[in-house]
Structure 1
Amino acid sequence: MSKIQGLIARLKDGDKRTFEELYLKNKKSFLLFAKRYQIHQDELLDIYQDAVIALCENAQKGKLDSLNVDISTYLFSIGKFMIYKQLKHQNRSVPIEEITFLPDWEMEDEEDEKEQIQLLGIGFQKLGEQCQKVLRLFYYEEKKLDEIQNLLNYSSKDVLKAQKSRCLKQLKELIQQKKNG
């Protein structure tokens, strides 16, 4: 059993000591990372606590059984999503290049994450206008497929799903080309 899988197993078992270690180990770095979003410190602390709880709940539900990234990376992803949600709630925006919506990426460290975000922004700009609209509405504005179908006048939800899938595939290919080229 890998170190990550052992940690996940202990979280599944509700081991309080593992929970506390995870919480304390990542708290300072998460709060430093999150400062760039200009959210009050108390709110950031609430977000961090919610993210740790969500991570533990996901572990207990078996959602992390095949996790292939560091547990801290996963925790930061949850926290970042919660920050974006908070900013949206406050009617504040996040630049599209800041949004990472390809969950299968593995980010080893902050430098790798910055590179991935930069590649995502470059790839996104190379997409056609319709793909940008679909992905922005779905991932950034968190609209339901029914809403997007109406907003963009798609004939059916299935057509929209296929379009979204093609757009994501195209974006991944653009990012891969940029990585390799």
Structure 2
Amino acid sequence: MEENHIKTLIHSHPIEIAKLYNSHRNSFLNFGKKYGLSYDDLCDIYQEAFIALRKHALNGKLDTVNSSLKTYLFGIGKFMIFDVLKEKKKTTEYEPYKLGIHDTIAIVDTEILTEELSYEQGLLQTYFKKLGKKCQEMLTLFYSRGLSIDDIVAHTDYTDGSVVRSQKSRCLKTLKEMIKA
């Protein structure tokens, strides 16, 4: 994570923290729209996510994080959104055609695209693109979007959890074999 952002979160005056807070707020609110929550709920979630991010910075938990501040913040917010949805017993529809560049924060950090990838990240990215669409979708739903097996069953045309687990296992095995080859 960018060292200057961590310093801002830990040592800064309220004005600098407010600038950092506002720098990603609108992007997060747009990102959160697809989950069907109200504007007020999304504002509350963003605020709670930012507070959690600051606590992580104060506790030294960001020292070993490799993602950008924005990606880390959105990851915290995404899980908070899922928690609110579970509380409200809402479900979201998985709509793969809606995953545009602005909605893929949880999937691919857009800043990683401009930074140099590690050797392992490059391999993973290269071979992930060579997987079939079904495997790409499965691994994205589980690992990037953080959906549970039951959520994947609810949002796709898989019949039950055992089918999802099998498919995920096969896809992961295929990806690992491609990387080793």
Aligned counterparts of 2:55 and 2:12: Cα–Cα separation in 1 = 9
From 32, 36, 39, the equivalent of 2:37 is 39
From 56, 59, 72, the equivalent of 2:57 is 59
Which runs of 5 or more structure 1 residues have no equivalent in the other structure?
A: 99-104, 126-134, 141-163
Q: TM-score, normalised by structure 2?
A: 0.57
Q: In the TM superposition, what is the alpha-carbon distance from 1:106 to its structure 2 partner?
A: 7.8
CA RMSD of superposed structures (Å) = 4.0
From 26, 38, 43, the equivalent of 1:28 is 26
Aligned counterparts of 2:49 and 2:170: Cα–Cα separation in 1 = 31
Change in Cα spacing, 1:23 to 1:170, as seen in structure 2 (3 Å) is farther
From 90, 93, 106, the equivalent of 1:92 is 90
Contact (CA 8 Å) 1:47, 1:79: kept in 2 or not?
Answer: yes
Q: Secondary structure at the match of 2:2?
A: helix
Which runs of 5 or more structure 2 residues have no equivalent in the other structure?
A: 97-105, 114-128, 142-147, 153-164
Aligned counterparts of 1:71 and 1:86: Cα–Cα separation in 2 = 23
Report the residue type matching 1:34 in the other structure.
G
Q: In the TM superposition, what is the alpha-carbon distance from 1:107 to its structure 2 partner?
A: 2.9
Change in Cα spacing, 1:45 to 1:15, as seen in structure 2 (3 Å) is same
Q: Is 2:86 the counterpart of 1:73? A: no
Matched residue pairs, number? 132
Report the residue type matching 1:122 in the other structure.
M
Q: In the TM superposition, what is the alpha-carbon distance from 1:15 to its structure 2 partner?
A: 3.7
Runs of 4+ in 1 over 3 A off after TM superposition: 94-98, 118-121, 168-180
